[in-house]
Amino acid sequence: MAKNTITKTNFNFPGQKSKYTGKVREVYNINDELLVMIATDRLSAFDVVMPKGIPYKGQILNQIATKMMHDTQDLVPNWLTATPDPNVAIGELCTSFKVEMVIRGYLSGHAAREYTEGKRLLCGVPMPNGMKVNDKFPEPIITPSTKAKDGLHDEDISREDIIAQSLVSEADYLVLEDYTRKLFKRGTEIAAKRGLILVDTKYEFGKTKDGKIVLIDEIHTPDSSRYFYADGYEDGQKKGEAQKQLSKEFVRQWLIANGFQGKTGQQIPEMTDEYIETVSNRYIELYENITGETFVKADVSNIQERIERNVVEYLKNY
């Protein structure tokens, strides 16, 4: 199965200046003008990259993000200019802001874990008393995060600290908040048409050479967002049952059940080929539910060769 996945790249594209490796994506700088972003099949949970790739995961993330960028470009400008390969997005070189804009419509995930520990303040934002896990907030809350010094772990940060530490200027931060709320509202509307609830998500932004703030990276994918099925949500909340999720939360829960939460000294449980196939199938299910389209598997006989060919061809004609 491993040969049909892409977990790392080492390309040397025409005009290549540098390469940045994130948890899932690898980004190539071309002539300080373009960024070539490759969505690998790596799976990250609890800020730890799992040892094996998930077939088609990179394609799924890239194609959902591309579609969602297209469906929100009338609201918020974005960096994307082309997708010459199922795993690749190419766009304008931007300087990224050092914060991730997390927005939550419901008390789930990290917020729920904090809440059940008795905390009522998240990133300086109050959370009402008397809520149950997965309840809807009266209004969506923005709970930003920033990268820890190790560059891997995300850390909660308040709006006040972001501005005080000059991570983002106050004027720019107001734009980021405005864009975040607009994108979440549109994402919620798109999800509702598919019978889904957009629970929470994160957005990343950058600044172009001419100073324009644009949406970058991914948007409304199962790696950056959490979805519930609308059907059965109310009933589940009344009965105190867990909500069926469309996100990678199912992987986190499997890891927790197998004794792993990314803490020091913990071992990643073995991911068998059978389990990896179930994760791949789940990602395909996520794709089809989120987009309303049938997933078409790309040719994975030699992914590296395919990506290199498609990117070089694009750059030749750029």
Whether 153 shows a pLDDT value over 80: the answer reads no
Average pLDDT (146-152) is 66
Q: Which domains does the chain have, with CATH numbers?
A: 2-94+280-317 (3.30.200.20), 96-246 (3.30.470.20)
- List phi, psi (to 5°) of 306: -60, -45
The predicted pLDDT at position 308 comes to: 97
The predicted pLDDT at position 151 comes to: 56
Average pLDDT, whole number, for the chain?
A: 93
Q: How far is CA 187 from CA 67, 217, 249, in A?
A: 12, 16, 19
Q: How far is CA 209 from the centre of its chain?
A: 24
Q: How far is CA 15 from CA 10, 176, 305, 314, 316, in A?
A: 15, 32, 19, 13, 10
Whether 284 shows a pLDDT value over 60: the answer reads yes
Average pLDDT (54-64) is 96
Average pLDDT (138-166) is 88
The half-sphere exposure of 78 on its side-chain side, counting CA atoms within 13 A, is 25
The predicted pLDDT at position 253 comes to: 87
The residue type found at 253 is Q
Tokens (6 digits) for 97: 């802001």
Q: What's this model's pTM, rounded to 2 decimal places?
A: 0.90
Burial class of residue 208 in the structure, from the number of CB atoms within 10 Å of its CB (0-12 exposed, 13-18 middle, 19+ buried): middle
The predicted pLDDT at position 86 comes to: 98
The predicted pLDDT at position 2 comes to: 46
Reported as a single tens digit per residue, the pLDDT across 163-204 is: 999 999 999 999 999 999 999 999 999 999 999 999 999 999
Distance CA 129, CA 80 (A): 41
Q: Where are the alpha helices (DSSP H) in 15-100?
A: 57-72
Under 8 Å between Cβ of 227 and 199: yes
Whether 152 shows a pLDDT value over 80: the answer reads no
Under 8 Å between Cβ of 315 and 14: yes
Distance CA 122, CA 144 (A): 9
The predicted pLDDT at position 1 comes to: 39
Whether 150 shows a pLDDT value over 70: the answer reads no
Tokens (6 digits) for 221: 């994918």
